[in-house]
Amino acid sequence: MELTTIWFCLIAVLWIGYFVLEGFDFGVGMLLPVLARDDRERRVMINTIGPVWDGNEVWLLTAGGATFAAFPEWYATLFSGFYVPLFLILIALIVRGVAFEYRHQRPSATWAGWWDRAVIFGSYVPAFLWGVAFANIVRGVPIDADFEFTGTVLTLLNPFGLLGGLVTLSLFVTHGALFIALKTDGEIRGRARALALRVGVVAAVLAVVFLVWTQVLTGNVATAVIFVVAALALVGGLGAAYVGREGFAFAGTFFAIGLAVAGLFVGLFPDVMPSSTDVANSLTTTNASATPYTLKLMTIAAAVFTPLVVGYQAWTYWIFRKRISIHHIPAAH
């Protein structure tokens, strides 16, 4: 396999890792005002993702860094072209990250309330905007012969892009609700499962429409197979939630999100950012890539460190495997 193809796959893996992992902690953040009845329950929810959210977010940083190194032209066009959504995502991730660390530092309810708003805003905005961004990458955006994005922020707000945003948003809410059902005990656990079923049905409908639309736009046999399996995983996951098998249910949304993102990348290949202006201006794995020397070097680094990272992150989830309920929450400072 060519090095550029390997790196296309690796970057796909990093984004899949990011969405399946941070997807559920965005979901937990968005559900904060819905699932929790009081401060103690809100803290139960936040503590389910407490030890892991930051590690999940590093998947994004690595995806960004790897794109910079392996496909500099892609990184440059994407990040400068999607300036406004990325700025909003940054603001969201900043207030959200600080909120987790600062929320419990003062006993005041007003203080906690403001940080709750930061968590909610900071989870909704990226959950929606990442979907808009990826839908637009797949659909193609105006790019000129110098690989410069020539659209505006309104270019991105087309029906397909907005639908993509709603799909990631609703999938992450479902994913997060199932994570809460899996990681908590007590009343909130049952509430989370019931909510996952209700939102899950909406998410499934939206996702199927979006995937069929994507299939029409960029599809081939492989994407069709992947999308069908993704849809089956989602339906299977909801079925498992219905019969109370929370582990299988969470695995269902985990694989559904991962496969859907994988399918988007398969449909994209060999483009990395198609141009809607002129096919000749499309960024591809070859014309956007770094040199073979850099790719080879990075391949070695990735081959050594990626299994290590997956290993110790998995170990972390194992260490914090116990369910949390309200009597586990100590008093605030």
Q: Which is nearer to other proteins, 9 or 52 (CB)?
A: 52
Q: Which is nearer to other proteins, 91 or 217 (CB)?
A: 91
Q: What is the DSSP string of 270-320?
A: TEEE-BSS-GGG-EETTTT---HHHHHHHHHHHHHHHHHHHHHHHHHHHHT
Q: Which is nearer to other proteins, 44 or 240 (CB)?
A: 44
Segment 216-220 long-range contacts (CB within 8 Å, at least 24 positions apart): 217/138, 217/139, 217/160, 217/267, 218/138, 218/267, 218/268, 219/267, 220/266, 220/267
Q: Which is nearer to other proteins, 141 or 261 (CB)?
A: 141
Closest by CA to 56, choosing from 85, 116, 92, 14, is 14
**Whole-number Å distance between alpha carbons of 41 and 35:** 8
Shortest distance, position 264 Cβ to other proteins, whole Å? 20
Q: Which is nearer to other proteins, 233 or 290 (CB)?
A: 290
Shortest distance, position 65 Cβ to other proteins, whole Å? 4
Q: What is the DSSP string of 86-153?
A: HHHHHHHHHHHHHHHHHGGGS--HHHHHHHHHHHHHHHHHHHHHHHHHHHHHHH-B-B-TTS-B---H
Shortest distance, position 106 Cβ to other proteins, whole Å? 7
**Whole-number Å distance between alpha carbons of 312 and 11:** 20
Q: Which is nearer to other proteins, 97 or 239 (CB)?
A: 97
Q: Is 269 helix (H, G, I), strand (E, B) or coil?
A: coil
Shortest distance, position 298 Cβ to other proteins, whole Å? 6
Shortest distance, position 272 Cβ to other proteins, whole Å? 13
Question: At 118, phi and psi to the nearest 5?
Answer: -65, -40
Q: Which is nearer to other proteins, 53 or 213 (CB)?
A: 53
Judge contact between 128 and 166, C-beta under 8 A.
yes
Taking the C-alpha atoms of 158, 161, 164 and 170 in order, what is their torsion angle to the nearest 10 degrees? -60
Shortest distance, position 140 Cβ to other proteins, whole Å? 16
Shortest distance, position 223 Cβ to other proteins, whole Å? 27
